[in-house]
Amino acid sequence: MHIKPELRVIGIDDGPLVDRQVLVVGAVMRGGAWLDGVVRAYVEKDGLDATQRISAMINGSKHAGQLRAIMLNGVTFGGFNVVDLAALREETGLPAIAVVRKPPDLERMRLALANLPDSGRRYETILRAGPLSVVQTEWRGGPVYYQCQGLGKEDAARLICETAVHSRIPEPLRVAHLIATGIVLGESSRRA
Amino acid sequence: MHIKPELRVIGIDDGPLVDRQVLVVGAVMRGGAWLDGVVRAYVEKDGLDATQRISAMINGSKHAGQLRAIMLNGVTFGGFNVVDLAALREETGLPAIAVVRKPPDLERMRLALANLPDSGRRYETILRAGPLSVVQTEWRGGPVYYQCQGLGKEDAARLICETAVHSRIPEPLRVAHLIATGIVLGESSRRA
């Protein structure tokens, strides 16, 4: 994969859970450099529609044709509404990377899911996102962890490092987080 | 006024008028370079609360102490809810600049205001924002026009030019516009 510095990437994060419909924001950026557009969708809290809603948000955008990759803040949105990373890749035709600060505690997640309908299906969707890889960006304070579909883990690591320009969180995800928390709470919170 | 490249500026724009309460977004940026935070407020469509709501949004933010200037997309928010630029400057203690692409048609505005309560007061507030100045940024496609309070027109022009990094619209205003339109409509519109 050829990674140009101004490659268009969409970073996607959700806002805090204050309503049954949870705000999801997509920040379209030229690499880590500048914001080119903002899209939004809503997903149901603890629902099963995140993959479909996020695919539709991306495919319905005027930016769809220019996008080269999708970055997600993890695979769970709006509580435990799990994104099927392989299905998202298939629906959009774009490589998809889920990035997190800490390796997920899968056993704890499995127990939390037990209280929800379709718990087995949700858990399998989390696992199906792919093996967890780790990459150390140029920033101190620990590495980041990621799962990816539609591109190799080395390419995904390069894309993460190239776009991690103001913190170890890739800029499209940092910006999507600031927007989603700022709009829902009135003021953005720092950590994605 | 000493203008550092990473001076913190808040750019403020409103979203489209789809409800009685209109979304107003503040994008806190380090100069024209990168997004540091997002705040939001709501103002009443054609109401009289824009100055107070925007002052409170700024003063209530954790970024308040670091901000060095306010930029507004014009002085009317949520329809004809007029910001009193001098009062905003006074309430926040910050220099305030209202930037527009085209010189406002004051006579047309006066006629439009005639249909609203307090039309005289609104019109005076528009005039009180100060004389209209013009500056040509490094971008083609025409100059921008501005009114300012709390700083000289040369300093305001420099701040506009320094932050107009991706178009003739200063980056904090361009970003606030993308966020406000993206959140309200589902997809951002380009022109501030």
pLDDT at B59: 98
Residues A40, B178: C-beta atoms closer than 8 Å: no
Give yes or no for B186 touching A (CB within 8 A): yes
* pLDDT value of position B190: 77
Q: What is the pLDDT of residues A8-30, one digit of tens each?
A: 999 999 999 999 999 999 999 99
- Residue at B70 is within a domain: yes
Choose, out of B25, B28, B29, B35, the residue to mutate when testing the contact with A (most A CBs < 10 Å): B35
Minimum-distance CB partner of B183 among A38, A62, A188: A38
Shortest CA distance from A42: residue in chain B? B186
pLDDT band, very low/low/confident/very high, at B31 (cuts 50, 70, 90): confident
Confidence of residue A87 (pLDDT cuts 50, 70, 90): very high
Residue A191 lies in a domain: no
Nearest CA in chain A to B53: A186
Whether A183 sits inside 8 A of B38 (CB atoms) is yes
How far apart CA A3 and CA A143 sit, in angstroms, is: 21
Q: How many domains does chain A have?
A: 1
H helix and E strand count, chain B = 6, 9
What is the token pair recorded at A64? 């769809």
What distance in Å separates the CA atoms of residue B74 and residue B167, rounded to the nearest whole number? 17
Mean pLDDT of all residues belonging to chain A: 95
A65 touches chain B (CB under 8 A): no
pLDDT band at A191 (very low <50, low <70, confident <90, very high): low
Task: Please give the pLDDT value at position B6.
Answer: 81
Given B37, B165, B182, which is nearest A37 (Cβ)?
B182
Give residue B35's domain range. 8-185
Name which of B97, B43, B40 is nearest B70 in CA terms. B97
Does residue A91 fall inside a structural domain?
A: yes
Note which residues in 144-173 of chain A have CB less than 8 A from chain B: 165-166, 171
* pLDDT tens for each residue of B81-115: 999 999 999 999 999 999 999 998 889 999 999 99
In a domain, A103, yes or no: yes
For chain A, the residue count is 192
- What is the model's pLDDT at position A190? 77
Q: What one-letter code names the amino acid at B67?
A: L
A99, A173 Cβ separation under 8 angstroms:
yes
- Above 70 in pLDDT, residue A189? yes
Contact call for residues B66 and B98 (beta carbons, < 8 A): no
| Percent share of chain A, pLDDT over 70 | 97
Q: Using pLDDT thresholds of 50, 70 and 90, give the confidence band for residue B1.
A: low
pTM of the predicted protein model: 0.96
Chain A CB within 8 Å of residue B65 CB: no
Helix (H, G, I), strand (E, B) or coil at B36: strand
Give dist(CA A128, CA A85) in Å, integer. Answer: 8
pLDDT reported for residue A177: 98
A 10 A CB-CB count for A28 gives 27
Q: Is residue B192 part of a domain?
A: no
Q: What is the 3-state secondary structure (H, E, C) of chain A?
A: CCCCCCCEEEEEEECCCCCCEEEEEEEEEECCCEEEEEEEEEEECCCCCHHHHHHHHHHCCCCHHHCCEEEEECCEECCCEECCHHHHHHHHCCCEEEEECCCCCHHHHHHHHCCCCCHHHHHHHHHHCCCCEEECCCCCCCCEEEEEECCCHHHHHHHHHHHCCCCCCCHHHHHHHHHHHHHHHCECCCCC
Residue with tokens 């379209």: A28
Q: Is the pLDDT at A192 greater than 60, yes or no?
A: no
pLDDT band of B32, cuts 50, 70, 90: confident
Question: Which DSSP string corresponds to B75-131?
Answer: SEETTTEE--HHHHHHHH-S-EEEEESS---HHHHHHHHTTSTTHHHHHHHHHHT--
pLDDT, position B192: 55
Taking CB atoms and an 8 Å limit, are B38 and A166 in contact across chains?
no
Tell me, yes or no, whether B44 lies in a domain. Answer: yes
- Report the C-alpha gap between B56 and B38 in whole angstroms: 14
Domain assignment present for residue B41? The answer is: yes
* CATH code assigned at B177: 3.30.2170.10
Is A166 in Cβ contact with B40 (below 8 Å)?
no
A-B C-beta contacts closer than 8 Å: 69
Cα(B70)–Cα(B77) distance, integer angstroms: 15
Q: List, in sequence order, every residue forming a beta bridge with B145; answer none if it has no partner.
A: B100, B134
pLDDT one-digit tens code per residue, A65-80: 999 999 999 999 999 9
Q: Which among A35, A165, A171 has CB closest to B178?
A: A35
- Taking an 8 Å cut-off on Cβ atoms, the answer to whether A38 and B179 are in contact is yes
Is residue B176 within 8 Å of B27, Cβ to Cβ? yes
Smallest Cβ–Cβ distance between A188 and the set B37, B41, B182 belongs to B37
| Band of residue A162 on the pLDDT scale cut at 50, 70, 90 | very high
CB B71 within 8 A of CB B58: no
* Neighbouring C-beta atoms of residue B170, cutoff 10 Å: 31
**What would the pLDDT profile of B43-59 be if each residue is shown by its tens digit?**
999 999 999 999 999 99
Residue B28 falls within a domain, yes or no?
yes
Q: Which residue has the higher pLDDT, B190 or B43?
A: B43
Q: How far is CA B12 from the centre of its chain?
A: 5
* Closest residue on chain B to A34 (Cα): B34
Q: Which of A39, A165, A178 sits opposite B187 (nearest CB)?
A: A39
Instruction: Judge whether A64 is closer than 8 Å to chain B, CB to CB.
Output: no
